[in-house]
Structure 1
């Protein structure tokens, strides 16, 4: 079916214009497009680092005895899944890894790594290239200030990416065991999803989750 917008408009008007004229028109169009893109990109924020604090801010590292509140969000997953946990600032990244595995109900069958700015951390036994030992890296040493972020990647095949944000420092509660889940949202993700299965995601249960987290208390001391 002919395009109504082109009915009665002979194409000879376009194709029979001198070649030099058409080239000049295309060149002017390219210049306009490039200028517009330059304006858009100049206002754009770098990808992969949303809400990053401006450069040059002074460090405000937590004391190792402090309790830090972290929000952990599973990236690119709908409906959104997130957990807010309390953990000692003196804990190492290995403890944080185990806490994430429990709070998101991962099976622990795959490799993982943390990334803070340009530095990677993982378990030394994995022998990953250019990764520091997570067991020798404490939270207060890698988090420069409230608002700092850590990227956590679990399973290098399916790529379950998490963004960890240090929200604030809170007072230690003698009645709590750490790490502790303060809140959360979203059902547990299904790690091995089968399209032929009618399995449903397990609902988030904060109280049951904190019972499981108690097994990590010894590691946080």
Structure 2
């Protein structure tokens, strides 16, 4: 076994109660692009929207025609997390700039992990993330109201629509299964 520094990071979705969160151990020398992949796997996002890491003085963002890099911004494939985590103990990650799923990222501590495979590891969390393209926090609140009322005219439609995110399972807002998350994280080689 070889020892390696990992960051213990807590990721909590903003503006949703009760909170949806994950605590993950992340290898210290990965890029922000790889860290984006870790967040995607930890929450089981589908990874087909743009993302941005927000810091007080700069953004870490993959440039596009809609969002070019500005002076001071950093590219996620060229910026390692340890160069930034040493200075910032919390910041924000936004996924899907339309629905605006914001996650507060808290760098809790550095730990030594005996790990041969060098993959991220989920150690805790709670609740299922919202379905993709549900319309942000207000759309998610409406979705939850609809699926909690079997007499609602859109009840069956919304549950069937959400199966695109659940692999055919009935959507359960309280669903959290650490082993499933770790299987996804295990595919991210760091």
Question: For this structure pair, what is the TM-score category when the shorter chain's length is used for normalisation?
Answer: 0.7 to 0.9
Give the C-alpha shift of residue 148 in structure 1.
0.8
Q: SS of the counterpart of 1:171?
A: strand
In structure 1, how many angstroms separate the alpha carbons of the residues matched to 2:116 and 2:75? 32
C-alpha offsets along residues 119-167 of structure 1, whole Å, 9 cap, x if unaligned? 101124565231311111111101135x711210111111100010110
In structure 2, how many angstroms separate the alpha carbons of the residues matched to 1:178 and 1:136? 20
Give the C-alpha shift of residue 177 in structure 1.
4.3
Q: SS of the counterpart of 2:35?
A: helix
Give the C-alpha shift of residue 106 in structure 1.
1.1
Q: SS of the counterpart of 1:136?
A: coil
Query: Contact 1:114/1:121 (CA < 8 Å) preserved in 2?
Result: yes
Give the C-alpha shift of residue 107 in structure 1.
1.4
Q: Is 1:134 equivalent to 2:76 in the alignment?
A: yes
Counterpart of 2:22? 83
Q: 2:107 aligns with which of 160, 166, 173?
A: 166
Question: How do residues 1-221 of structure 1 correspond to structure 2 at under 5 angstroms?
Answer: 66-124=5-63, 128-130=68-70, 131-145=73-87, 148-174=89-115, 177-193=118-134, 196=154, 197-198=158-159, 199=162, 200-201=171-172, 203-217=175-189, 220=190
In structure 2, how many angstroms separate the alpha carbons of the residues matched to 1:133 and 1:174? 28
CA RMSD after TM alignment: 2.1
Gaps of 5+ in 2: 135-142, 147-153, 163-170
| 110-119 vs 121-130, which moves further | 121-130
> Which of the two has greater helix per residue?
1
Q: SS of the counterpart of 1:184?
A: strand
Query: Contact 1:104/1:189 (CA < 8 Å) preserved in 2?
Result: no
Q: TM-score with structure 2 length normalisation?
A: 0.73
Q: TM-score with structure 1 length normalisation?
A: 0.63
Give the C-alpha shift of residue 188 in structure 1.
2.7
- Highest RCO, 1 vs 2 (Cα 8 Å, sep ≥ 6): 2
Give the C-alpha shift of residue 111 in structure 1.
0.9
Gaps of 5+ in 1: 1-64
Query: Contact 2:61/2:69 (CA < 8 Å) preserved in 1?
Result: no
> Which of the two has greater strand per residue?
2
Give the C-alpha shift of residue 178 in structure 1.
1.8
Query: Contact 2:6/2:111 (CA < 8 Å) preserved in 1?
Result: yes
Query: Contact 1:188/1:201 (CA < 8 Å) preserved in 2?
Result: no
